[in-house]
Amino acid sequence: MKASVIAHKDFTISKIDDRVYGAFLEHLGRAIYEGIYEPDHPTADKDGMRGDVAKLVKDLNVPVVRYPGGNFVSAYDWEDGIGPREDRPTRLDLAWHTSESNQVGIHEFADWCATVNTEMMLAVNLGSRGVDDARNFLEYVNHPGGSYYSDLRIANGRAEPWNVKMWCLGNEMDGPWQVGHKDADEYGKLAANTARAMRMFDKSLELIVCGSSNSDMKSYPDWERIVLEHTYEHVDYISLHMYFFNPEKETANFLTMAEKLDTYIETVASTIKQVKANKRSKRDVYICFDEWNVWYHSKEQDKKILEGNSGWPHAPGLLEDVYNFEDVLMVGLILNTFIRRSDVVKIACIAQLVNVIAPIMTEKGGPAWAQTIYYPYYFASIFGRGTALDLKVNTPTYDGKYGDNAGYVDVSGVYNEDESTISFFLVNRHGTEAADVDLDLQGFAAGEVIDHQVMTHTNLEAANTAKNQTEVAPRKGEGAKADGGKLSVTLPPYSYQMVRVKV
Ligand code: AHR
């Protein structure tokens, strides 16, 4: 199979917002406890945070982490997680049918974010609570001092405000599974009122209103239109979520979920435009894709706990998907989609970061390791910063269950002007044919290949485990050639690659 790509220096999509490589951590399963926090772990620091996990996170250069949920936030009282640890209450978490010890709260999370060099993105509870919760939490987190909540923060050991800029107005409020679920009008009004109150405190906050939990929701895409009609002038982003699944083990179909993602983004971008036009507004609202990942491997094993047949355990293993090589391809395609849609998708968060549908796994008292999907996320986050190129791609295509005209060769290109490099991220969706890809770099001075990484495996189901942590890992590629503004590379069947050229 042959494919060709034209990359022209003047044909660009957008400057990519670095925050598109963000992540998410929820009080769910072992994400926090035994994930980032395990005071008895041999690598734990003075705050009880695991050093081995912090290292894997730091290596990813995660720009932002959303916290504390997720479904968890919709019945969460943030006040439970402040003050002396021994006084913090254990609560029942209705979302995941577990107990929450509150040993980690906003202070511990903020300190951890500083350790791993990331920014916080906080969600307020608009399920069981409302405007008051939001304004009080905001005052606690961002006000310098001299008021009830800011002084309480100071008394709890943190003198400086954290100055968190990004705030989510609830989570998945369209979902009937959500504590305090609302219809679009009800939620839209509450979100607008909450946003107004938060902006009275600080006009410069970046506020994110809930869009749909997925594009199969009955209320989609009217939900977006109605919610934006209430909130358009008060928010900066609308949040979307999507999880990718393949229980039938139909790889070709599974991989067309990237087309479904693209359509979802396109539809919501159009809805944003429609509401903007209706309102004769001058401001822009963008997409914050703050939950995305493959999620299905753990569904069966989680039923017992989620259906309430295990009591209320604290931090049990939940949503612990063990990712395989096939998921590398899917995650590569998702990230390529975000790069190509960087004109409208400004923030995105892989869900989640540790143990819970996550690129990083841990064992209690044992090792932490990179799951298969860690690598495409790593390559995009480290080398995908810059300007997205509007590539002209000529590739054979196929039709699948979730979308038609899926290119067998899927590619995104990022030009980094400061470093004079282009990074190409390529996926071959063909299961039996290799793809010879010719890339024509127009308007760029002739380049040389400076890095070439390949991920491929004979077994789509191969995974990394505590005992075999590198079964699926990138290896240095051979054979990518750059000559006189032309780059050529061969993609083996079902493979992911990154090729970087100096231009
Ligand atoms: O990330 C797991 C869960 O998925 C989140 O809590 C929720 O927002 C979504 O349904």
Pairing mode of beta strands 421-428, 495-502: antiparallel
Same domain? 451 vs 403: yes
Q: Report angle CA 450, 454, 457 to the nearest 5 degrees.
A: 170
Q: How far apart are the first and last CA of the chain?
A: 27
Domain identity same for 56 and 200 = yes
The CA-based dihedral angle spanning residues 349, 355, 359, 361, taken in that order and rounded to the nearest 10 degrees: 160
- Return the pLDDT at 284: 98
pLDDT tens readout for residues 28-78: 999 999 999 999 999 999 999 999 999 999 999 999 999 999 999 999 999
Domain at 482, CATH number: 2.60.40.1180
Q: Residues 328-361: pLDDT tens digits?
A: 999 999 999 999 999 999 999 999 999 999 999 9
Helix (H) or strand (E) holding 301: helix 299-306
Ligand 1 site, residue 172, Cβ cutoff 6 A: yes
Q: In whole angstroms, what is the distance from residue 181 CA to residue 179 CA?
A: 6
Tokens of 399: 């039709």
Same domain, 339 and 195: yes
Same domain, 370 and 226: yes
Helices vs. strands in the chain: H and E counts, helices first: 11, 26
Domain boundary among 383, 405, 429: 383
Q: Are residues 290 and 400 in the same domain?
A: no
Which pLDDT score, from 0 to 100, does residue 238 have? 98
Instruction: Report the C-alpha gap between 249 and 252 in whole angstroms.
Output: 9
**291 CB near ligand 1 (under 6 Å):** yes
Phi, psi dihedrals of residue 422, rounded to the nearest 5°: -120, 130
Comparing C-alpha atoms, which of 230, 218, 215 is closest to residue 269?
215
Residue 405 one-letter amino acid: N
Query: Would you call 75 helix, strand, or coil by DSSP?
Result: helix
Average pLDDT, the chain: 97
Q: Which atom of ligand 1 is nearest to the CA of 72?
A: 6
Of 358, 383, 408, the domain-final residue: 383
294 lines ligand 1 (CB under 6 A): no
Tokens 């295990």 map to which residue? 310
Length of the chain: 503
* Cα 193 from chain centroid (whole Å): 27
- Count CB atoms within 10 A of the CB of residue 160: 9
- 233 plus 362 within the same structural domain: yes
What's the gap in Å between 418 CA and the centre of ligand 1? 37
Residue 135, burial from CB neighbour count under 10 angstroms (0-12, 13-18, 19+): middle
pTM flag (> 0.85): yes
Task: Output the CA 263–ligand 1 centroid distance in Å.
Answer: 21
Task: Check which CATH number belongs to the domain holding 69 and give it.
Answer: 3.20.20.80
Confidence at 484, pLDDT banded by 50, 70, 90? confident
| Final residue belonging to a domain, choices 360, 383, 406 | 383
List phi, psi (to 5°) of 457.
-160, 145
Give the active site residues: 172, 291
| Per-residue confidence (pLDDT) for residue 75, from 0 to 100 | 98
Q: Give the residue from 485, 405, 407 showing the smallest Cα distance to 444.
A: 485
Residue of 72, 291, 292, 321 best suited for mutating to test ligand 1, as the one with most atoms within 8 Å of CB: 291
- Asked whether residue 346 falls in the same domain as residue 472, the answer is no
Return the minimum-mean-pLDDT range out of 222-226, 452-456, 478-482: 478-482
- pLDDT for 378-391, tens place per residue? 999 999 999 999 99
Quick check: helix, strand or coil at residue 165?
Answer: coil
Phi, psi of 240, rounded to the nearest 5 degrees: -125, 150
Q: Are residues 168 and 58 in the same domain?
A: yes
Q: Which atom of ligand 1 is nearest to the CA of 177?
A: 10
Q: In this structure, what token pair is assigned to residue 124?
A: 């307020």
> Quick check: 446 pLDDT over 80?
no
State if residue 290 touches ligand 1 by the CB under 6 angstroms criterion: no
What number is the average pLDDT over the span 238-246? Answer: 98
If one counts the domains in the chain, the total is 2
Residues 261 and 361 in one domain: yes
Classified as helix, coil or strand, 295 is: coil
Distances in Å between the Cα of 82 and the Cα atoms of 28, 47, 85, 453, 494 are 18, 14, 8, 45, 48
pLDDT score of 447 more than 90: no
User: Would strands 12-15 and 448-456 be described as parallel, antiparallel, or unpaired?
Assistant: unpaired
Residues 352 and 306 in one domain: yes
- For residues 305-323, give the mean pLDDT: 97
How crowded is residue 428: how many other Cβ atoms within 10 Å of its Cβ? 28
The verdict on 429 and 300 lying in the same domain is no
Structural domain containing residue 497: 2-9+389-502
Pick from 368, 416, 381, 385: nearest CA to 62: 381
120/244 same-domain check: yes
